[in-house]
Every structure is written in C-alpha cells, then in structure tokens.
Amino acid sequence: MIRAGLPNITPKDHHNYVAFFLTLSCNLKCPYCINLHDHTIRANQVKHQTLDVGDWIRAANRLVLRADLPLTLQGGEPTLFSGFYRFVNDVKPEIKMDLMTNLMFDVDRFIKEVPVWRFTREAPYAAIRVSYHPDQNDINDLISKILKLQQAGFRVGLYGIEHPASEIRAHILEVQKRCQTMGLDFRLKEFLGEYDGAMYGTFKYDESVAAQTLKQCECRTTEIIVDPAGYVYKCHADLYNTRNPMAHILDAEFNEDSIDEFRDCSNYGTCNPCDVKVKTNRFQVFGHTSVEIRNIR
Ligand code: SF4
Ligand code: SF4
C-alpha cells in the first residue's frame, strides 16, 4: 500500500455513487439495523483496523469528482467517527459532501465547526439527509435541530420509511404531513426486504434477495463504496459482511477502471436490496440498479 503521491481516481459518467462508511458504530439501536443483528457482521467488522483521519483525507483527496457527484459520508452514524470534524474541514475544497445521519449529534458544534459550502451544491435533494426512526430518534428533537441547521445555511431533508405495518405507516404519513406544513422537506423511502412473510421492493434480478439457495454469477458495480477499514467492495452485502474486497482505497493501482470489471460472486441470493432494487439515479431518473449481474447459474 502506497500512502503518498497516490494517483487520482476519476469516477466515470456511469459511476453513480461514492461513499465512505467512516464508522459502522451508531448511537441508536434500530431493531431492523443490519449492523446490530448479524453477529457474523459484527465479528467481521472488528477483524480490520479502521482508517485514521489522515488516511481518510488522503483517500478523499485522490478523488476527482464531477459537480453532480458528491462524496457521501455514511455509516453507522458518520459523525461518531472521531476525526469527522477534521475530515470535513481538511479534505481539498473541490470535494462536495453529502451526509446520511440520524441527527443524534450536537448541532451547535456542527454549525460552529462545519463549513456550509462543504455540504452545498445544486441537487434535487438535500445534501444532509436525516433518517427518522420512530421510537429511536424523537421527531420534535429532529425538527428543532433541522430548523437550527437551516437557519445556519445548511440544506437538510428528512426521510422516513413507508413501513408495511399499518400503524407505523400511518405514523410516518402523519409526521410527513406535519413537516410539510412547516415547510420541511420530508420524503418517503420504499420499504425493502421481507416483512411478515411478504417481500417488498422491485428487484431487477429474480431470487437475488433472501433466497433459500445461493447461486454463482458475475457482478459489476457502478459505485465506489468504502468500509471503515478502507476496503472497497462491489456491493453493500459484501461490505457489511467484510467479504471479497476488490481493493483498498489507498492502493495506488485502484482507479476508476477497476470498478468496471465483472467479478465472480458465489453469494447471489443474499444480495442487499439496495444493490438490486430498481431505483432512481442521481438525476432522479427511474430504472437504475447499482449492480449489473450476468451469467447466473
Ligand atoms: S440509525 Fe441507522 S445505523 Fe443506526 S441503528 Fe438505526 S438503522 Fe442502524
Ligand atoms: S451478486 Fe449480489 S451478493 Fe454478489 S456481488 Fe452482486 S450484489 Fe453482491
């Protein structure tokens, strides 16, 4: 691994998403969270040393991103990463960032220490996207924090899952209405996966999610997703399971061409719904999937 003078990584036009999972730690305990429930995942996560902030900054500074492609910070709760504030200040100014957060952080510190321009760009959605988890983060607390952030100049959006359970769904819709009345951007996200014996979501590939039998295939991604240790994966299922990284973000040989290869996978059937779901791309055009799969057998 070379740590100085690293060549650039310049995502191509069809590369749709670049995300650093700064940490998988979280200060909430959502019962459906993939990070909390799979003990294999937890065990795998501690296998690798996490990157320190200096290495994350070097990794981000390798990126040459288009104006419409931010570096998304996610997790876990990315603001829990100990070097978060240094990271968002010290990465080269050309990099614009998005933040996926549960907003369980000190907003006064955030406003004081985070430059607004870092999270400001033209996009059809807010750069700071807050997930509302009923019974975990309190909606009144979220609303007052969002109003504060907006006053400081940040663009913030709230997201809730359209859960199939009727009482949760009714609650989310009621909260959405309340937020919209206040002029807040509250959007609904589709529930994906199994609930009460039914499968939810529109997936491009049959039996790719929660299948009984695993199959072989070849798969290639359109994304650069990097785990807390700096490893780059071809899908979220691999990332959360710490299996088969394609490279390390500080490998000098890793570049935009590395992403485009089809790679063998023997875990077809356990795909993460996010990767195989038919969804909107960064232009909000429907029909995109994060991965392309062929030769399923
Ligand atoms: S906020 Fe997200 S990462 Fe944290 S426990 Fe809930 S689902 Fe998991
Ligand atoms: S086939 Fe599924 S599990 Fe395998 S790499 Fe592709 S998305 Fe991941």
Tell me the domain boundaries of the chain.
17-191
Q: What is the pLDDT of residue 40?
A: 56
Task: Pick 59 or 4 by higher pLDDT.
Answer: 59
Residue nearest to atom 6 of ligand 2 (CA): 219
Q: Is 33 in the pocket of ligand 1 (CB under 6 A)?
A: yes
Query: For 17-191, CATH number?
Result: 3.20.20.70
Whether the per-residue pLDDT at 274 is higher than 50: the answer is: yes
Q: What is the pLDDT of residue 287?
A: 81
Whether the per-residue pLDDT at 288 is higher than 50: the answer is: yes
- Length of the chain as a residue count: 297
Q: Is 30 in the pocket of ligand 1 (CB under 6 A)?
A: yes
Residue nearest to atom 2 of ligand 1 (CA): 76
DSSP β-ladder status, 156-162 and 128-131: parallel
Q: Is 26 in the pocket of ligand 1 (CB under 6 A)?
A: yes
Percent of the chain with pLDDT over 70: 94
Whether the per-residue pLDDT at 45 is higher than 70: the answer is: no
Whether the per-residue pLDDT at 105 is higher than 80: the answer is: yes
Q: Which atom of ligand 2 is nearest to the CA of 263?
A: 5
Whether the per-residue pLDDT at 43 is higher than 80: the answer is: no
Mean pLDDT of the chain: 92
Distance 208 CA to ligand 2 centre (A): 8
Q: Any long-range contacts for 230-238 (C-beta under 8 Å, 24+ apart)? A: 230/51, 230/55, 230/56, 230/59, 231/48, 232/258, 234/263, 234/265, 234/291, 235/271, 235/272, 235/275, 235/290, 235/291, 236/272, 236/274, 236/275, 236/290, 237/267, 237/270, 237/271, 237/272, 237/275, 238/267
Q: Is 291 in the pocket of ligand 2 (CB under 6 A)?
A: yes
Structure tokens at 137: 């983060």
Task: Pick 47 or 284 by higher pLDDT.
Answer: 284
Distance 247 CA to ligand 2 centre (A): 16
Average pLDDT of span 30-45: 64
Question: Rounded to two decimals, what is the model's pTM?
Answer: 0.94
Average pLDDT of span 246-259: 96
Q: Is 133 in the pocket of ligand 1 (CB under 6 A)?
A: yes
The residue to mutate among 213, 232, 241, 275, having the most atoms of ligand 2 within 8 angstroms of its beta carbon, is 275
Whether the per-residue pLDDT at 135 is higher than 60: the answer is: yes
The residue to mutate among 26, 135, 191, having the most atoms of ligand 1 within 8 angstroms of its beta carbon, is 26
Q: What is the pLDDT of residue 194?
A: 84
Q: Is 19 in the pocket of ligand 2 (CB under 6 A)?
A: no
Looking at all shown ligands, the one closest to residue 243's CA atom is: 2
Q: What is the pLDDT of residue 281?
A: 72
Residue-wise pLDDT tens digits, 65-83: 999 999 999 999 999 999 9
Phi-psi region of 242 (alpha: psi -120 to 50; beta: other; left: phi over 0): left
> How many whole angstroms separate alpha carbon 180 and alpha carbon 68?
26
Q: What is the pLDDT of residue 44?
A: 56
Percent of the chain with pLDDT over 90: 81
Average pLDDT of span 77-103: 98
